Structure 1
Amino acid sequence: MKAKYLFPYQYKFVGWTLTILFLLIWIVGAITKTGLDFFTITLPFKYALQDSFGASSNETTLNLGDEFIVIGLIVGMILIAFSKEKVEDEYVSQVRLETLQWAIYINFVLLIVATIFVYGTYYFNVMIYNMFTPLLFFIGRFYYVLYLKSKIES
């Protein structure tokens, strides 16, 4: 993986900050059963892709809180996963490439297993979490392998 396609090292801190912030917002919202109500907007027209059944109003009310959290988590984890390390040498590039391949394999194996054994709305939840699992697997294994290398060297 060429280093020219990676973000600068300083973006890693921004990524961790965004990921932790949006993860906390998501957890607090799940515990308190509230959404991000300040992200509720009302459109003066009927939105074609709205999921309300039998709504007769010509207005559409949308709460964009979940979308805000998903975008924040994805952007944060992309910045963590694809920012350069302090020392970006050939070993780190090789580990990055192998870990990306490993994360994709594991993600799709789990998705196949879930497709076989999970049905209904639970499967919809699996698909939602599937947006995040490749990045989570990548980040987890990448930093674990780098941690093991530092332990072996010291």
Structure 2
Amino acid sequence: MKYLLSNKFKKPGWVLLVVGITFGIIHALNDFESDLLTVKVISLFHNDIIFSKNNGLVSIIEDSIVDEILTLMIITGGLLVGFSKEKIEDEFISKIRLSSLKWAILINYGILLFATLFFYHTNFMSIMIYNMFTPLIIFIVRFNYIVYKKTGHEE
């Protein structure tokens, strides 16, 4: 429990997470195409093939940073929500937190194994992109569902 953030980080985390996921879905439905927020950025190994002879280590390129901002919002929001203390943080909550983390890792790697066997090329890369977020999302959903259910809020 000493590695958890204060409970006050949970609300800003939820805002970042929900806004990031909402606009991330909209961005994905538009095939990740956007000229919004096109700026010059530093790019490491800009070539498609990292170890090619014509590839410089550092390049400055123009790129839309919408997808990077959305990714940062989802990851930061997920970490704030997932790793902030509950108002009452006891051994029961710690047990649920650990159990949810185990479930998230198992399900995440189950999805990854399935994708490795049945998806190829660009489809596999899409799965890998979404797979960045699944451990946090599964953890948050399961943890909050179990806490809600076990703390007397069930009908």
TM-score (norm 1): 0.82
Amino acid of the structure 1 residue aligned with 2:21: L
Matches within 5 A, 1:47-58: 48-51=45-48
Q: Work out whether 1:114 is the aligned partner of 2:115.
A: yes
The one-letter amino acid paired with 1:37 is L
Deviations 1:7-51 (A, max 9, x none): 10010001001112222322343456652612x1136x9974155
Secondary structure at 2:40 match in 1: strand
Q: Is the 8 A contact 1:47 1:60 kept in 2?
A: no
Q: Give 5+ residue unaligned stretches, structure 1.
A: 52-57
Task: Assess if the C-alpha contact under 8 Å between 2:23 and 2:70 holds in 1.
Answer: yes
Identity percentage of aligned residues? 39
- What pairs with 1:68-83 in structure 2 (closer than 5 Å)? 68-83=69-84
Alignment of 1:4-153 (within 5 A): 4-31=2-29, 35=34, 37-38=36-37, 40-42=38-40, 48-51=45-48, 60-151=61-152
Cα 1:131/1:36, change in 2 over 3 Å: farther
Distance 1:30 1:114, change over 3 A: closer
Whichever structure has more helix as a proportion of its residues is 1
CA RMSD of aligned residues (A): 2.6
Alignment partner of 1:4: what SS?
A: coil
Distance 2:112 2:126 in 1: 12
Segment drifting more, 14-23 vs 81-90? 14-23
Q: Is the 8 A contact 2:13 2:78 kept in 1?
A: yes
Is the CA contact (8 Å cut-off) linking 2:116 and 2:124 kept in structure 1? yes
* Further displaced range: 25-34 or 63-72: 25-34
**1:36–1:66 CA contact under 8 A, matched in 2:** no
Of the structure 1 ranges 92-101 and 60-69, higher mean CA displacement relative to structure 2 is found in 60-69
Distance 1:50 1:18 in 2: 32
Structure 2 Cα separation of the partners of residues 93 and 109 of structure 1: 24
The normalised TM-score by structure 2 is 0.81
Q: Which amino acid aligns with 2:112?
A: L
Q: How many residues align?
A: 145
What's the CA shift for 1:131?
Answer: 0.3
Give 1:101 shift. Answer: 1.0
- Partner secondary structure for residue 143 of structure 2: helix
Q: Matched residues in 2 for 1:123 and 1:17: separation? A: 30
Q: Distance in 2 between matches of 1:96 and 1:46?
A: 37
Q: Contact conserved, 2:17 with 2:73, CA < 8 A, in 1?
A: yes
